[in-house]
Chain A
């Protein structure tokens, strides 16, 4: 047990968390920042160990006397006692507990992986995982790669791959949604014209680097042949467009969904924001529990600029200086309109259920197949991802459903009788802890 309680604690050192930390530091208030990685920045500002912090505006935090860091530290349990919070931490296999007055949850998002036949093969990686290798370790997983999925995240992934000194050959970028869907986001674009420019720049960039780009297409299956992968690409009607062989890597991303691990431990209220289950917050980023605020992707996936404005609003409110956040609130308003439009354009396709007639693994940890999960709904009476888990073990493995929960929920909506039985994310602990550590 620690001694004096911490007044302000931020979980997550990504754009929202660091923006909040900067706000505290500028107001000369001490703050503790916890992150599970070795270096702050989150996924968006992921950078090489020892390199300069990628965003000048927040670099000062690293040496600020007001900021205390607990890095490589995960929060695996939180208790609420007499209006305070007891955070159970784990750093390199050692556990300890700290007491906190006011808590900001800025734990970001996780990738929305859509399962396809062959997605468990070595060489297949999420686009976010690829980005982390490139930005964090200047490493490509191989020499030839295909990139598929949907959403604006595919842009920076291609860009950073090509920035490597020895980049892999990018044999194609396959975007599921047609570019013409951008007309759906006219209000968002008018308020954020720079974003349209980014999209145009990306298309020019692809052309200049001779990277084939197909909109309205998707990677439909991946097979292991000898030491490499064979990949089938189809159009939106399922007609085969291409069959590519001797591919080393396939990177796929269908966008992001809030990481609700910490919010589910705290039992924070949720709501659907931009199509995904997110933490419900008020206009001051306050959550349903007094003393807890939330900011960034965890309250609705909308990109780093939105996260920065939310982090600032949250911190100012935690400091009871709410009047100072007017400018940040305007940015938040503008960014939310853009995010809403993007979410509509790049909606993760629920049709994935019908994409393949093959049976294949949905829950990677427990190796549970699609047909087993469907059977649990049709024959065994499961009515949600949670009850299906009891029958099939889907979501019961070490990742606690982080990868499969969302997809099992899609299956539940389609195949169970109970159309209102959509279970929201529940994860009783924040990450794997050994019994030995607990008994210490």
Chain B
């Protein structure tokens, strides 16, 4: 099974998965923390409207994990706040 990295951990995925779907299947729901209160957030609307599931993908921040396609060897990092 192909896999990508999330915060250093290898996450397996199926062809066609979004990053969020693969993470949830691996039991990971906390995708980032908020800017002001540092609260954990996960996938909420699931269809790209709410921008709650933001992660950094290969160094590019603010990617929606619910839309971003899982691909081999991606380096996905949870975001602390919006810009780190």
Contact = CB atoms under 8 A, between A and B. Distances in A.
Contacts of A432: 51, 62
A129 B16 contact: no
B57 to A, nearest CB: 11
Contacts of A123: 29, 42
Given A125-B46, A402-B49, A139 B62 contact: no
Contacts of B66: 129, 132
A49 B21 CA distance: 12
- Interface size of B as a range: 35 or more
Contacts of B49: 110-111, 259, 399, 402-403
A141 interface: yes
A255 to B, nearest CB: 14
A111 B45 CA distance: 8
Contacts of A132: 46-47, 66
A399 B24 CA distance: 22
B30 A43 contact: no
A364 B37 CA distance: 11
Contacts of B37: 367
Given A367-B37, A398-B62, A137 B50 contact: no
A259 B50 CA distance: 12
The bracket for how many chain A residues form the interface is 35 or more
A38 interface: yes
Contacts of B17: 49, 137
B77 interface: no
A399 B15 contact: no
Interface of A: 36-38, 43, 48-50, 93, 110-111, 113, 120-126, 128-133, 136-137, 139, 141-142, 259, 364-367, 397-399, 402-403, 432
Given A49-B17, A122-B31, A139-B24, 18 more contacts: A36-B48, A122-B29, A122-B40, A122-B41, A128-B45, A129-B47, A131-B46, A133-B21, A137-B16, A137-B17, A137-B21, A139-B25, A141-B43, A259-B49, A364-B41, A367-B35, A403-B49, A432-B51
14 contacts: A120-B44, A122-B29, A123-B29, A126-B44, A129-B46, A131-B46, A132-B46, A133-B46, A136-B21, A137-B17, A137-B18, A141-B43, A367-B34, A399-B50
